[in-house]
Structure 1
């Protein structure tokens, strides 16, 4: 089902969607949130919807608990949109995203039937992604507990580790990058270079990894 993402020059899929929910202006209700998803799924003449569907299905069908799924979403959005406030748990929110994507895909392919999500991807890169999460983990964990603009989010780093181990290096890495940007965590120039290299190995455009919003401090080296 998944289509190639190497043509995207910005974050894509579920991690790209979370960026649209980082605006401090709150989404007032579930209908407004769905409208945001519809607009994102329609990007690139609907090409975006394929990867978004794959990510949402993969995470929703994983062995992760709903609490972990919700933590991943809140960490990537810095809590600006909490599905539980709108009578949704993490999985029901993901299933709603998937439904929007299916509707958009069927505009071009009326007979489209979603397949089972792919198995966890890039097992050879999981150790490298986990190393980066653990290296920045203390700073990210502190940011998740002390942000002036979000409720404390314990368990963010373990949730990211589990996403990489149980869902895959690709989505886990992108959610990790989004959390770093959401909480504006300081990273060294050396870390930044490693993140760019990992993105290249995953087939990303460099702007998927860093569109200028990572908080890079070369003097930390």
Structure 2
């Protein structure tokens, strides 16, 4: 049967279907039998107010309707459960067990809702089959060594990869990929950063929830490098500012910084968010900028939500608090990290200076927090100009984008395109400029 493509991330927070059941079977303590497997299947089916039954039923029917030999399905299930559950060990056999999984779970389709459907799909079925087969082959050697080392008698050499590829090609590539991920996690198979990025690209194309790939996956992360631009969105001090917009008083300021410092993008080495925020913070602390200028910068890009001036907090003392939180977080998640500031980008300084100068008409009449001790947009623009010339053009450009978002400055498509091009030259992620400014673009 053909799988109906959906944006699964709208329904689920993590794994679903047969691969989620395999995860439960693998993690279960005590004895396992068919009856218990069916009880765990009911838990998977009950997820998201019963939506989980749809994918579980579809997964089972994809296998049932395929020409795959029972031994291929058995091998994949046995591996995905880390040898904990063998569907061939019970009287109904492999397909009998699948029939029982699918029983009372017909191949229903989710109620169609706006935005829930991939139309057109981001990847064709043939492209998906080839991509999944390639990842299975890339993992075959490490997986075989891990599985045979764990239980040499359970599975023959190469059998796991062969079975998973057969499922991807002859049954359903979506299921094949989820079972591959489940097997990699079950046997703690290390995955290199390049393969991880490919797996996350497939995750995006399929509309999966991101944790389905990265939760429990042993990724061989490269060392933290503040010169890398792995995040898809903003980073550093300009990314901290939105954490203080609107209603945030349920947390202390220090706790809010701690949350931002821990908010690594799924493509980043753990600790990167804190390291990048630390880099921006130290550059401002070590800069010749006055505390008054730094105060204007912070109040402007944060929308004057955390009023350090009203609270009597010196701007450099505030930066010192941010620095302390970042260092504390890095000691926990990357104790071997030693801060090294990324190189200052002088090659794009003139381009950013022009961008700041050309933003003057957009900010001339703007005011941050216009109803209470307003900060003139022009004063904020001048402070950002000081960052560009006296500190770092990269940081200055990110703060400019943030300021334009705070005041909702209307942007022509041409100006927006120039910002995108400059962001690309800085190596920013694909959503960095878009997330900040797309809503402000004047569309015809």
Q: TM-score, normalised by structure 1?
A: 0.87
Tell me the residue number matched to 1:128: 351
Task: Provide the secondary structure at the position in 2 that maps to 1:110.
Answer: coil
C-alpha offsets along residues 25-84 of structure 1, whole Å, 9 cap, x if unaligned?
2537xx701100001111224321000000001011100011111111111112111112
Q: Per the alignment, in what secondary structure is the counterpart of residue 366 of structure 2?
A: helix
The worse-fitting range, judged by mean Cα deviation, of 132-141 and 201-210 is: 132-141
Report if the CA contact (8 A) 2:404-2:437 is conserved: no
Aligned to 2:233: 10
Q: Which position in structure 1 is the counterpart of 2:401? A: 177
- Which ranges in structure 2 are unaligned for 5 or more consecutive residues? 1-223, 265-269
- The equivalent of 1:152 in structure 2 is 374
Q: Tell me the matched-pair count.
A: 213
Contact 2:412–2:442 (Cα < 8 Å) also in 1:
yes
With CA pairs under 8 Å and 6+ residues apart, which has the higher RCO, 1 or 2?
1
1:205 to 421, 429, 435: 429
1:168 and 2:392 aligned: yes
C-alpha distance 32-141 of structure 1, shift in aligned 2 (>3 A): farther
Whichever of the two has the greater Rg, that structure is 2
Large movers: runs of 4+ above 6 Å: none
Give how far 1:88 is off.
1.2
Please tell me whether the aligned partners of residues 27 and 81 of structure 1 are also in contact (alpha carbons under 8 angstroms): no
Bigger helix fraction: 1
2:249 to 12, 18, 27: 27
How far is 1:186 from its partner?
0.9
Q: Which runs of 5+ in 1 are unaligned?
A: none
User: 1:187 — aligned with what?
Assistant: 411
* Cα pair 1:2 1:54 within 8 Å, conserved: no
Task: Provide the rounded CA distance (Å) in 1 between the counterparts of 2:347 and 2:443.
Answer: 28
2:296 to 71, 76, 94: 71
Could you tell me which of 361, 383, 386 is aligned with 1:138? 361
